A = this chain, B = another copy of it.
Amino acid sequence: MQFGLFGGARTKRGDDTANSVGAGDSHAYGDFIAYVTEAERLGFRSVFLVEHHFTGVGQLSASLTLLAYLAARTRTIRLGTAVIVLPWHNPVLLAEQAATVDLLSGGRLDFGVGKGYRAPEFAGFQIAMAEATERFDEAIEVIRKAWTSPGRFSHQGKRWHFDNIVVEPQPLQTPHPPLWLAAGSPDSIRRAAREGYNLLLDQLGSVALTIERVALFRDECNKIGRAYHPTMVGVTRALQIVHDEKERQAAFETRARVVDRIGDLARGGGTIAPPEHDDAPLLGTPAEVVARLRQLQAGGVENVLLVDPAATVAALQAFAREVMPAFAVNRAAAE
């Protein structure tokens, strides 16, 4: 089993608790950079960064820009976006920026894309939410062309028009960086498999639901003859290691706030159980967390992306010390 991180930097430290737990993607930039470099040292294999705009709480907006910086500060950890919201971007500029990160990082980019879900972002960009899917579809078509056309190409679409262009640089990975898609419903999971995406699963789905989703993706890959490897599915999980009942109660409270706050993410995510019956998070003692990961592993999960609501180096180190050894993850694995 391999472990990664899911989150993002933040410029403003929330002293408002509701904000500071946020969706787990807080941190001042400097702290976040230290967090990622330490994660690499501890054997984490990937970091996936969010992209958000106009939040007022300083969430990361320019994920590829930060990944370019991290490319220089790290050597082995894979650098992912989770996700870049395609409707906001000129697909050609985006293909150039992503390819540049791939090149600068020695081929470590994981390119996660999405269509957006936050109403205030659509309002801010003055883009109708109803257009999200068609904008996403057109943008990914252009990006794929940009990365795979043997020479120059043109695109005359509904929103974008390019004539006789060649996108440079080419990404280092061939044919291009892996594409990742967040999906939850059976239809969208099958579509991700058929269209060549890797799969990001949310942090709210129960163990059973997550295992079902992994199986669905794997089966669809097999059905269409696409080579499947378990690391193609990244399962995000909240990390909340506790050592006594007092910490457990505090972790339940944090969990409740997180679930409440990211409720709008839970499209197709099924019902969220009350904290004491919610088996999605890695919430518990180290032994309990190991047991939960073993359940996931038995169901085919081999790539877990930790969302740490506290996002501290101490929590990473505790995970590395108290949980990773059960899965034979060590520093050497990252090198």
Q: Mark A residues whose CB is within 8 Å of B.
A: 11-12, 29, 53-56, 58-59, 61-62, 64-66, 68-73, 88-90, 92-93, 96-97, 99-101, 103-104, 123-126, 152, 161-170
Q: Which residue of B lies closest to A74 (CB)?
A: B72
Task: For A59, give its contact among B54, B104, B168 (CB under 8 Å).
Answer: B168
User: In whole angstroms, how far apart are the Cα atoms of A125 and B142 in the complex?
Assistant: 13
User: In whole angstroms, how far apart are the Cα atoms of A101 and B61 in the complex?
Assistant: 12
A65-B68, A72-B69 in contact; A162/B125 too (CB < 8 A)? Answer: yes
B163–A53 touching, CB < 8 Å: no
Copies in the complex: 2
Output the least CB separation between A159 and chain B (Å). 12
Which B residues touch A103, using CB under 8 A? 11, 29
A65-B101, A90-B88 in contact; A124/B162 too (CB < 8 A)? Answer: yes
B93–A62 touching, CB < 8 Å: yes
Q: Which residue of B lies closest to A104 (CB)?
A: B69
A163–B55 touching, CB < 8 Å: no
User: In whole angstroms, how far apart are the Cα atoms of A288 and B167 in the complex?
Assistant: 42
User: In whole angstroms, how far apart are the Cα atoms of A300 and B314 in the complex?
Assistant: 55
B54–A166 touching, CB < 8 Å: yes
B29–A104 touching, CB < 8 Å: yes
- Additional A-B contact list (19), CB under 8 Å, known A54-B152, A65-B101: A11-B169, A29-B104, A53-B92, A53-B96, A54-B167, A54-B168, A58-B168, A61-B96, A61-B167, A61-B168, A65-B68, A65-B104, A68-B69, A69-B69, A69-B71, A69-B72, A70-B72, A88-B90, A92-B125
A/B interface sample: 19 pairs, CB < 8 A: A11-B103, A11-B168, A11-B169, A11-B170, A29-B104, A29-B169, A54-B167, A56-B166, A61-B169, A62-B99, A65-B96, A66-B68, A66-B100, A68-B68, A68-B69, A92-B125, A124-B162, A124-B163, A124-B165
Output the least CB separation between A11 and chain B (Å). 4
Q: Which residue of B lies closest to A52 (CB)?
A: B168
A162-B124, A166-B56 in contact; A66/B104 too (CB < 8 A)? Answer: yes
Output the least CB separation between A221 and chain B (Å). 32
Which B residues touch A123, using CB under 8 A? 163-164
Scoring A59, A65, A96, A162 by chain B CB atoms within 10 A of each residue's CB, the highest score goes to A65
User: In whole angstroms, how far apart are the Cα atoms of A328 and B201 in the complex?
Assistant: 59
Which B residues touch A56, using CB under 8 A? 152, 166, 168
